[in-house]
Amino acid sequence: MGIFSFGKGLVSIGLDIGTNTFRVAQLKSVSGSPTLVNYGSIKIPVGAVVEGEVLDVEAVSRSLADLWKKIGLRNKGVIIGVANQKVVVRLVELPYMEKDELKGAIQYQAQDYIPIPVEEAILDFQVVGEFVGENEARMMEVLLVAAQKDMIQNNVIAVENAGLKAEVIDVSSFAVIRSLLEAPSVVPAEGEEEAIALINIGAGITNIVVVEKGIPRFTRVTSLAGNTFTRALEESLSISFDEAEELKVTAGLSSLQEKDKKRGKKSTKQAERIKAAQETLGSEVGKFVAEIRRSFDYYLSQRSQVKGIRRVILSGGGARMSNLTSHLESGLQTTVELGHPLQKVQVAPGLSREELEQEELSLAICIGLALRRFEE
């Protein structure tokens, strides 16, 4: 579901406005299949985007213009993803009504479900199911999305000042669902529901969404993300942010002792540095696991018919950390795997599959955004 549409067209460009990096993916229909024909990324000035919010409109516009020039994109229409504390997603239950009547009811009742003042919010909704309630009353489940107007406006202005057009604004967690999950095909036994959690670890924010039968039943954004781990290394080892970023990926959470037995001795200085990095990361990942567990516990407390989270799928650049999946499996006591957004698209012959696979985890949001056009 795209939350806010500003125009129609054949746009298939997804734009992920991240904290450290902007990423874009262009899809084209080839023989009826969505095909990745262009993609790219660009680093952005520190502070231009903070925890999913555009703060420096001018810097964002310059970076977007540079990105379009860098990869030779001609199409100006984009689908933007938003994810921050000023975007709220709720599943609400309402008596059945026709669409026109529902639109008015949402405007009237939305304040009961969202923390943002209605007059300061842009609202959208989608009916996701019907059921029979008490006294055989016909009911409906509605996915309600609210976003603060000023936050949305900053995104739109930044894009337009770069010579682009924001044709659709979508929720980033919806894009992750689109790029990582197939449409549900197996229906659980009556009385039981199966839940899958998708966790996209970006630089500034982590998106957590729990999905049942393709429907997002719980969404949360937390600032405990990739930069949290990097800054912990930066501080504990007294190294630069860029050095810490590289060490986060190379040292990761793997066992130095086991590696040394197989590879032979390393320099004592290097061994101590990696060991210190792993200890720091281990502590931070422990906090990350606790944060996820709190989210899962809250979700499960609201869904008595769900026995647990069947599996967790990771994406985002932060998921590249060595052995993160095994640490999360241990802490969450469920299956954890890496997502593969490239499995949802064909790849144009001119693109390097090897280079794409190195970037795959980071492309989940922008590919998912671009895929929205193929659902219409």
Within 200-352, residue ranges assigned H as helices are: 226-237, 241-251, 256-263, 268-302, 324-332
Report d(CA 149, CA 132) in Å as an integer.
35
Q: Which residues pair with 130 in a beta bridge?
A: 140
Per-residue pLDDT of the chain (376 residues; tens, 9 = 90+): 445 544 443 558 999 999 999 999 999 998 888 999 999 999 999 999 999 999 999 999 999 999 999 999 999 999 999 999 999 999 999 999 998 899 999 999 999 999 999 999 999 999 999 999 888 899 999 999 999 999 999 999 999 999 999 999 999 999 999 999 986 544 444 445 689 999 999 999 999 999 998 899 999 999 999 999 999 999 999 999 999 999 998 888 865 345 445 445 556 888 888 889 999 999 999 999 999 999 999 999 998 889 899 999 999 999 999 999 999 999 999 999 999 999 999 999 999 999 999 999 999 999 999 999 988 7
Burial tier of 273 (Cβ tally within 10 Å: 0-12, 13-18, 19+): middle
Q: Considering only CA atoms, which of 351, 355, 360 is closest in space to residue 313?
A: 360
Delimit the domains of the chain by residue range: 2-227+284-375
Amino acid at 110: A
SS3 137: coil
Contacts of 105 (CB under 8 A, 6+ apart): 94, 97
Q: What CATH number labels 2-227+284-375?
A: 3.30.420.40
Q: Helix, strand or coil for residue 6? A: coil
